[in-house]
Structure 1
């Protein structure tokens, strides 16, 4: 009997040598997996603040308070000294304020209120219908004839842009950006829908998936609407700003102008990367790579007549709400203007922006549900609100420990001391101009690779960076806008992002042997181009055009204001 010969070295499969970038991504993934759960992380941070405060008090750390005499929160003798929490008085303070730290934590209430309204719109199907209607309308668009003469010269480039292929890509990018108002809907509905649309048009489905994922998650800080993340981050920014200025207020719309213009930047850049880089790289799709039958196109079903009727009537309801709101802020004596100055700035309207997020999702959501039959009475509203609250269990647990960490950090004066020392260091090396934001945005992007939650990351870094950059003259609103760029651009390339596993599962439907490395390499061009484009926009908008990042949002902070 012939014996089986061993394979020659040439026959044996040799493992592919990993390049530097692949090894770097493996290292990031390994480091990220070493991090504990965010709840555990904040508990460790809170304990660390207690221990460090005792050490700082024992070593006699201090810093000269740069705030002018008489400024709110200034140390009485002009010297900021640490307050130990590692003694009897500190223990009594921790025990007595455990509950109030949690219940008074600024981001908690605003997020809960905003999500009550968003939950109604999600439950009624309004958000899903809006996204499907926008994307599917673009898919069915056909350019008109170019005409003759001068009109032909104008219409040819326009019709080139508005070909179904290009227009669908634009529509998906734009819908993805605005869908992050209710982030789960963007991931769960639009990302798989985009893959189906691309596949139905004979394009590579993974290109559609990448396009939608990039703009939902990578464009997380761009929108034409105020979403639930805005009051959350504003609350954390205010908590951090209060370390330097106890009376400083940060409302949810402070980055709205910059977010609005960023929507179109992300749409344009996302479209360009999809059409010019990702789709050509993926090439022609081979259906044999799929892990299941792709003949089911149920997600491509157009809006029903009842759904279209619901959207029309909902649109009328929105116009009525806008008209009533205009009566409160447009007239000089509008009841939601500042009662003392009559201005919209620093008015009940801006301070109560979360109220209007609640109203603008609640009422249209119920109107749509009532027309379509998905929400017939108050029980449907209550179910929608309850369902939204049921998704917040983990968030509330995280907030409890994050609130303790933020409170301890503020009590200990460590934040003020670190901020003053950091500001002095930046001044000594001459890095106090706009270039300081290059490093800050880069650090935020790197931290986001290992700590994917925007709120968790900002809760940790805001108490350090916000006071530090305030002391060299920049406002909390601008600091928050810069942070949001760094936080967004690496969302799509970090396995630590909470929806990364879901995206991987969607992608596996079209490529059965797909891995994390394939997803990251596919998404990396978006991350790079978003970073470059957003950085350029930030500097042009803030420092060249000198435009505010939002209403009542100054660029600079003056210590004596």
Structure 2
């Protein structure tokens, strides 16, 4: 064992990945990164205020009819200090991502702890035809992002078992699942808690230029669906044509050597109660979807041609102002999806748990919701410092000044917008090697990138989509990714000599091809101007005369 540990330590120190690991390990916790940035921001705001740094506001008009000036403001000014100290609770609780994420996680916590997510993934992968085993694992892995941690803990080891049972190398199953769960982190068929988190941060950045802009959790729906089907053949090809031939023929058994018992074995068959639980969860999901349709569409008025109404007035989730476009009329529906996902997860998780036996009574549901909030403790600490950093950045007006200057520099460079978005994907992928947290990175980048791209007529939804592509592709090659050691443990259950370098080398082809395909998809999407989701386009027109 001592020799194995020594060998692994040497592996940690080799090559560019060793350099990345050492550099990343020297970085402080993201909470302290934001604390240090707050200190730097305070000093920079004072210096730029002394220098009189200013730009013309792109949309606001001064009283004399000319463009309004945006001047750098010191956070040490009396008014700024009063705001930052007196309104500290409001700055924290008013941080847009906070409410969105906590609401969704109340529901997701029930579904995860009841076992719905894990059982659903097991059922999906176990029933996959042998010929389509790799794409089935990759697809379920990407959809499994909705289950957050459960996808790593359940699906990745299960994929190894399923591959071995089919006579294929289990490491190939593990790498395919890891690539789908983590490399395809933002790809999915449905919006989820990640959408609520990222768009909350986006909304915080947008208010610098468009205070009336409202987050739409489905703003990247079409894009992430397309990403799923772009990444699916990539993972399939890399697994079957590159990784599995490199691993060689599997000659071991159909199970790893150290499965403790059937209760912990992800390959154990589903019980009758679990199967019934899945059916009842599906009924609950259909019921919630039907409810949201009823709250959005007046079916009685639709059938009678407006002669009668279900509500006798306004439809709850529809703005029926005839002067508005259909997208604007559906704003209440889009805004309600955060609540919709919470209710869907709670009812589906409860229906499953009550049938499968993981939920005995309503007190279990409350405990699961409370447990989900306990798990969010670190995020709450991070959100406090991120909220303060964003607030100071906005207050100093340096974000807007940087965005205006950055937009001018891009215009002067003559770079086409599709290429600019492609470079944003690449930049995010490189940064992701050192700062793994999706929310932390976006909280750092969004205050500058979102308004800068808005000034270049790129929508906040498109900026968020480009960020998401780069954020996932390099997750699977950095040892700083929190689940990287866990995946290594799963692999070593099958091949004890499988080391850190082995796992990294196996994941590099996935990362490279996911990043290339993601960049190309982003460039083509922007070039064609395809819609990103319901009511979300690539192009954006700034409101004038505010």
- Which of the pair has more CA radius of gyration? 1
Secondary structure of 2:103 counterpart? helix
* Structure 1 position 319, deviation (Å): 2.1
Where do 5+ consecutive residues of structure 2 fail to align? 1-6, 303-313
TM-superposition CA deviations, 1:178-232 (whole Å, max 9, x none): 1101210100110111112122222221111111011001111111122111111
Query: Which of 473, 476, 480 is equivalent to 2:460?
Result: 476
Number of residue pairs the alignment of both structures matches: 515
TM-superposition CA deviations, 1:357-416 (whole Å, max 9, x none): 101111111111112222122112111111111111111111110000000000000001
Query: Which of 173, 189, 205 is equivalent to 1:240?
Result: 205
Query: Which of 151, 167, 171 is equivalent to 2:136?
Result: 171
TM-score of the superposition, structure 2-length normalised?
0.89
Query: Which of 104, 115, 122 is equivalent to 1:132?
Result: 122
| 1:82-231 matches, cutoff 5 A | 82-138=72-128, 141=129, 164=130, 166-231=131-196
> 2:488: which partner in 1?
504
> 2:29: which partner in 1?
37
* Structure 1 position 294, deviation (Å): 6.1
* Structure 1 position 511, deviation (Å): 2.9
CA distance in 1, matches of 2:148, 2:410: 37
> 2:542: which partner in 1?
559
CA distance in 2, matches of 1:344, 1:226: 18
- Contact 1:475/1:557 (CA < 8 Å) preserved in 2? yes
* Structure 1 position 287, deviation (Å): 4.8
- Contact 1:338/1:344 (CA < 8 Å) preserved in 2? no
* Structure 1 position 260, deviation (Å): 1.5
- Contact 1:542/1:548 (CA < 8 Å) preserved in 2? no
Where do 5+ consecutive residues of structure 1 fail to align? 1-14, 142-163
TM-superposition CA deviations, 1:254-298 (whole Å, max 9, x none): 10111122222222221111111111111124659x995469773
1:305 aligns with 2:279: no
> 2:296: which partner in 1?
329
> 2:507: which partner in 1?
523
TM-score of the superposition, structure 1-length normalised?
0.87
CA distance in 1, matches of 2:198, 2:274: 34
> 2:284: which partner in 1?
317
CA distance in 1, matches of 2:243, 2:23: 28
- Contact 2:426/2:519 (CA < 8 Å) preserved in 1? no
CA distance in 2, matches of 1:321, 1:455: 29
- Contact 1:65/1:78 (CA < 8 Å) preserved in 2? yes
> 2:43: which partner in 1?
51
Q: Tell me the C-alpha RMSD between the 2 structures.
A: 2.5
* Structure 1 position 102, deviation (Å): 0.7
Query: Which of 544, 547, 551 is equivalent to 2:530?
Result: 547
Query: Which of 410, 425, 445 is equivalent to 1:441?
Result: 425
* Stretch moving more, 167-176 or 313-322: 313-322
* Structure 1 position 127, deviation (Å): 1.2
> 1:371: which partner in 2?
355
CA distance in 2, matches of 1:541, 1:63: 32
1:485 aligns with 2:469: yes
CA distance in 1, matches of 2:260, 2:61: 73
